[in-house]
């Protein structure tokens, strides 16, 4: 079945089937690791036929990409909500923590999902989420500083880039709590600098 004719879930039953497939894939990732993941195993765990699975997904990589995309979108929407409702500097930790926990699970699971996200979306995947985030907060957020395109780029790319590097460089065995502290330190310093720059001009 080609991608053009593959079904898109619209009814509640179809959505439940897709949810079951994605949840089964995540469970198997955690249980056996990405190398052991197969569409047959996913279908069996989800309680659907392999034919049903292929009605919605082209294969293992498509399942991983969909799982990663959902988690990325949920994190992006959560951060947009935080920026709109809690623009104070203290919300930085909540934003960083949301990014850190966006791809939960074992290191191998997080690596597989991040790889799938970038394989599916290419080098433009972060840019698309960046643009969607800016659209979500446009006219709704009171940041207290000038969000130039350059500042927005740094704010939305810095932590994501470092977290991806930490996932790839798993041999460093970085402590998650200490890494969170350092990322918060980085972002708070940058936001404070933006606030100071605006105050100096006024």
Residues near 139 by Cβ (< 8 Å), separated by ≥ 6? none
Same domain, yes or no, for 49 and 74? no
CATH code at 43?
1.10.10.60
Contact call for residues 94 and 80 (beta carbons, < 8 A): no
Same domain, yes or no, for 37 and 83? no
Give mean pLDDT, residues 45-71: 95
Same domain, yes or no, for 134 and 186? yes
Same domain, yes or no, for 189 and 101? yes
Specify the DSSP element, H or E, that contains 125. Answer: helix 125-137
From 2-11, 28-37, 95-104, 135-144, the region with the lowest mean pLDDT: 2-11
Same domain, yes or no, for 34 and 84? no
Chain centroid to CA 145: how far? 26
Gap between the Cα atoms of 87 and 144, Å rounded: 8
Same domain, yes or no, for 86 and 170? yes
Gap between the Cα atoms of 202 and 197, Å rounded: 9
Question: Per residue in 74-91, pLDDT tens?
Answer: 999 999 999 888 867 778
Q: Domain containing 32: what range?
A: 12-58
Same domain, yes or no, for 91 and 174? yes
Query: For the whole model, what pTM was predicted?
Result: 0.80
């Amino acid at each position: 079945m080609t991608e053009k004719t593959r079904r898109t879930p619209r009814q509640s039953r179809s959505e439940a089937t897709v949810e079951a497939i994605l949840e089964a894939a995540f469970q198997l990732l955690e249980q056996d690791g990405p190398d052991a993941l197969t569409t047959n195993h996913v279908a069996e765990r989800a309680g659907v036929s392999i034919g049903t699975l292929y009605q919605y997904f082209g294969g293992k990589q498509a399942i991983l990409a969909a799982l990663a995309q959902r988690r990325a979108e949920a994190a992006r929407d959560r951060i947009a909500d935080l920026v709109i409702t809690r623009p104070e500097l203290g919300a930085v930790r909540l934003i960083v923590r949301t990014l850190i926990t966006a791809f939960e699970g074992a290191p191998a699971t997080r690596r597989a999902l991040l790889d799938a996200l970038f394989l599916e979306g290419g080098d433009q995947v972060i840019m698309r989420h960046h643009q969607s985030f800016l659209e979500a907060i446009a006219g709704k957020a009171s940041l207290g500083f000038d969000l130039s395109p350059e500042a927005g780029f740094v704010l939305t790319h810095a932590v994501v880039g470092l977290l991806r590097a930490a996932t790839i460089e798993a041999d460093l065995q970085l402590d998650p709590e200490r890494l969170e502290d350092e990322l918060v330190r980085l972002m708070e310093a940058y936001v404070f600098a933006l606030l100071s720059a605006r105050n100096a001009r006024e």
